Structure 1
Amino acid sequence: MSEAYYIGMDLCSDSTQISFYNDISREPETVNQLNNKETYMMPNILFFGLETGEWYVGSEASEARFKEQGIVLDELFQNARSEETVEVHNTRYSYRKLFLMMLKMHVDSFLYRYEGATVKKLVITIPEYNKDLFRVLSTFYKELGVEKEQVEITSHLDSGLYYIFNQDESLRTNSVGLFDYNTDGLHYYRIDISHGHELNTISVTHEDYSENFNLAAFGGDNILMDITFAKIVANETKKTYISAIYLTGLGFSEKWLNKSRELLTQGRRVFAGQNIYTKGACYKAVGGEYGEFYKKYFVETKENVIFDVGISSEDEEDRFIPIALGGRQWYNIHGKISIILDDTESLTLVYRNRKTGEEEREVVKLHGIPKRPNKTSKFSVEVEFENPHHGAFIIKDVGFGKLFPTTNKIYRKEFDV
């Protein structure tokens, strides 16, 4: 009997990690390389064997390139948005096509381990939002042959929160720290949790140390790196009490933590792992109880929209009709409704703060619509975001059947909240 899996994929520039939800342990489990049980990281390369005529991906590609003649294709992540083509065995491929092929082969390399296995939900986590990369990844569901809703894209920050808030609650009795030391340098995130009478809040503070603390900054001097990191730890941990600290990223894979380890472990638990984001993405894929913290808390991050957007019902009840609900990353928020106007040529747009409940309103006039009988002017109202604070309403006249055909008029009203 085939099984459908919830999968989390951590997609970085040089490597990919995959976790799947284990129904027995009720925990995400990260996939090892078949030929190297010591690592979860699958290299982001493809190899086409000229002797076998087969494609290889990840660690198998790394091995095959030394065993037979063929063509190595790397830097696929970096070139994912490029339509530039490359010839492989008399066939031309765009880098975009090769990138999506690589991702599918990464997923298939897991699914092939279980006969008849399929994807139930896949969440891809990337270091941070990138418009062009997001656009490419948003088509990946077609490569997998699944519905669009079965593939979701998120960030390391969001999947990190999913991981942290699905660990033992005793680890977050106070603030939580996350140090991410990857190829672009060191970043620190402090997750503060406040409990109010009516509202519980999760807020995230980000400190970027990458300019002076990166993989090339110390020239292999691990002692200097340890001393410098110890100063950073001391500075950050004195700001507030930290219950637990998580360390992730390639920079922590080497054994250089000495002086800094003493400071990290003073009065708190410390966990190190390269698969925090892929497991967090897996928790998000499962959803349900694993996303409960997003219901219990008001979550403030640099990515999340903190207000709901909608319109007024324009009747005696003056109800708020939501179109796009906040509380998530702006790039994953989109809403659309259909409305019928009754004896009016205007809409009242409403912005409702999720934290305070306060509302802002503005009226938009729909000029140029022909006079029609009541309840025969139908419009679609769509909301899209360009960042957490800026977006737009797109209002379209869709007509009312054959009796009152559409004028094809489109109104765009941008907003800043």
Structure 2
Amino acid sequence: MGNSEGAYLGIDISARSTVLSIYKSNMDEPATVSTILGEENYSIPTVLAKRYGMGQWFFGDEAISKSRTKEAMLVDDLYTLALKNEEVFVDGESFQARELMVIYFNKLFAIPGPMAAMGDIEKLVVCVDQVNLEVMELMNYIISRLSIDSNRLMLIDRNECFYFYALSQRPELFLYSVALFDYSGSNMISCVLNRNQSTRPQMITLDVVNHGDITDNRDEKFDEIIADTFGSTLFSSVYLVGDGFDGEWMKVSLARLCKGRKVFMGKNLYSKGACYAGYTKDGKRDWPFIYIGDNDLKLNLSIKILENNVMKFFTLIDAGQSWYDAKGECEVILDGEPELEFYIQRPESREAHTEVLELTDMPKRENRTTRLRIEASPISDVAVSIVITDLGFGEISPSSGKSWEHTISIK
């Protein structure tokens, strides 16, 4: 395929560093961008530096180097400051931290190599430790300044990136359970992926444990963590991510890790997983799995409608979508009593319960001469706000302007 096909960008960003990967359908796997051609220099410090007395900006390792030689002034807490929407003083000038993050992203996108052949951005998938409103507001601001449509932005946490990455590998690597150990800071975090193969689609669960600070006797302590995490469960593969695994300190622990299972170590798992997430959620490939993460909706919400004399369910909200992004809307013609029946279902259950919303004080009209707009907006991962508006029926029945609000949540 040519460059006209859109690319899926996965950006794993934290206060310390950023990793950027690119994926297109003609690629075997995502490619991770290195700041040095021919080398695997994937981890880019999330910093900027301004050359003294000039409007020139440096980023990443070059920013740190220029600040050390006193050629430029470093902004080293850039991401955290931008999340708080704070003002930053650099070389006697005032800047909005969010604007500096726009400069940082522009620098990222200008890295030579795979970025030059990227073409249009189909989806920009940003991976963070935890998705929240501050992250959403910051990233929406950045993409608006970069003239990227908001529909092309996807936010995802690292656990979900691991889920998409692990299940995008060869099937023998997830035949049994899969483990991730993240040693990015001083804390060690484990994440175990399990599949329920009796459900369709297969329900995926992630068991995440923070094992706390590990600074002394690392080999011995990590060996204990491995033993506790694995127990008697069979594991097909293990992934190690984070700077903490650098060096050759793993001896006893590595021997336990490698016993009967494949072990992989790297720093671009999350950014590659973000690429796979964007590609998969766009429906570009079959995906026989479902995972409901911390930010994902825990309910399906639908109504029963009659269309072309066929009774069917119309889905307003799908479980598994991020509650920050999900919205549902439809228009219906009221048939019968002034009430609407909603069906609420957990994704792991075949049973649904119903809630009937009575439209009190609805103007009396002939049957089937009332058109209603139904809007569904999640307010958390387990609750959805419903707004129903009376649209009337053209000149026959003018709109009353009435609306009804209700919150539906899983029991």
Which of 187, 190, 194 lines up with 2:189 in the alignment?
187
Which of 33, 37, 44 lines up with 2:46 in the alignment?
44
Contact 1:7 1:20 in 2 (8 A): yes
Match of 1:286 in 2: 279
Contact 2:63 2:72 in 1 (8 A): no
Which 5+ residue runs of structure 1 have no aligned equivalent? Answer: none
Q: Distance in 1 between matches of 2:163 and 2:375?
A: 29
Q: Matched residue of 1:109: which SS? A: coil
1:287-324 per-residue CA deviation (whole Å, 9 max, x = no partner) reads 3687533xx13434444434311222279965322101
1:206 to 2:214 alignment: no
Q: Distance in 2 between matches of 1:91 and 1:401?
A: 58
Q: Matched residue of 2:83: which SS? A: coil
Letter in 1 for 2:138: V
Match of 1:416 in 2: 410
Q: Distance in 2 between matches of 1:121 and 1:303?
A: 19
Worse-matched range after superposition: 232-241 or 401-410: 401-410
1:166-202 per-residue CA deviation (whole Å, 9 max, x = no partner) reads 1111111111111112226222111112322755332
Shift of 1:272: 0.9
Q: Distance in 2 between matches of 1:112 and 1:270?
A: 27
Which of 334, 351, 354 lines up with 1:341 in the alignment?
334
Q: Matched residue of 2:240: which SS? A: strand
Which 5+ residue runs of structure 2 have no aligned equivalent? Answer: none
Contact 1:185 1:209 in 2 (8 A): yes
Distance 1:291 1:383, change over 3 A: farther
Match of 2:143 in 1: 141
Q: Distance in 2 between matches of 1:364 and 1:175?
A: 44
Shift of 1:136: 2.0
Q: Distance in 2 between matches of 1:63 and 1:23?
A: 37
Distance 1:188 1:115, change over 3 A: closer
Q: Matched residue of 1:98: which SS? A: helix
Distance 1:68 1:127, change over 3 A: same
Match of 2:116 in 1: 114
Contact 2:31 2:114 in 1 (8 A): no
Match of 1:176 in 2: 178
1:194-228 per-residue CA deviation (whole Å, 9 max, x = no partner) reads 32275533222222213xxx3xx42xx3xx11111
Worse-matched range after superposition: 252-261 or 297-306: 297-306
Distance 1:303 1:184, change over 3 A: farther
Shift of 1:64: 2.8
Worse-matched range after superposition: 266-275 or 15-24: 15-24
Worse-matched range after superposition: 346-355 or 157-166: 346-355
1:323-362 matches, cutoff 5 A: 323-362=316-355
Distance 1:343 1:24, change over 3 A: closer
Q: Distance in 1 between matches of 2:251 and 2:223?
A: 9
Q: Distance in 2 between matches of 1:307 and 1:146?
A: 30
1:105 to 2:107 alignment: yes
Which of 216, 220, 227 lines up with 1:234 in the alignment?
227
Contact 1:8 1:122 in 2 (8 A): yes
Distance 1:150 1:404, change over 3 A: same
Which of 306, 310, 313 lines up with 2:305 in the alignment?
313
Q: How many residues align?
A: 406
Q: Matched residue of 1:65: which SS? A: helix
Worse-matched range after superposition: 256-265 or 367-376: 367-376
Distance 1:378 1:135, change over 3 A: farther
Contact 1:111 1:118 in 2 (8 A): no
Contact 2:363 2:400 in 1 (8 A): no
1:325-348 per-residue CA deviation (whole Å, 9 max, x = no partner) reads 113444443322222323432111
Q: Distance in 1 between matches of 2:290 and 2:47?
A: 40
Shift of 1:28: 0.5
Q: Distance in 1 between matches of 2:14 and 2:388?
A: 38
Distance 1:70 1:299, change over 3 A: closer
Which of 387, 399, 404 lines up with 2:398 in the alignment?
404
Q: TM-score, normalised by structure 2?
A: 0.88
Shift of 1:404: 1.6
Contact 1:104 1:143 in 2 (8 A): no
Shift of 1:271: 0.7
Contact 1:339 1:378 in 2 (8 A): yes
Letter in 2 for 1:358: E
1:36-95 per-residue CA deviation (whole Å, 9 max, x = no partner) reads 934211111112223442122222322332456443222122122323323456754322
Distance 1:401 1:68, change over 3 A: farther
Match of 1:166 in 2: 168
Identity rate, percent: 23
Contact 2:387 2:403 in 1 (8 A): no
Q: Distance in 1 between matches of 2:401 and 2:92?
A: 50
Q: Distance in 2 between matches of 1:86 and 1:399?
A: 53
Contact 1:176 1:191 in 2 (8 A): yes
Letter in 2 for 1:263: R
Contact 1:248 1:274 in 2 (8 A): yes
Contact 1:298 1:355 in 2 (8 A): no
1:225 to 2:218 alignment: yes
Q: Matched residue of 2:20: which SS? A: strand
1:260 to 2:253 alignment: yes
Q: Distance in 2 between matches of 1:351 and 1:244?
A: 37
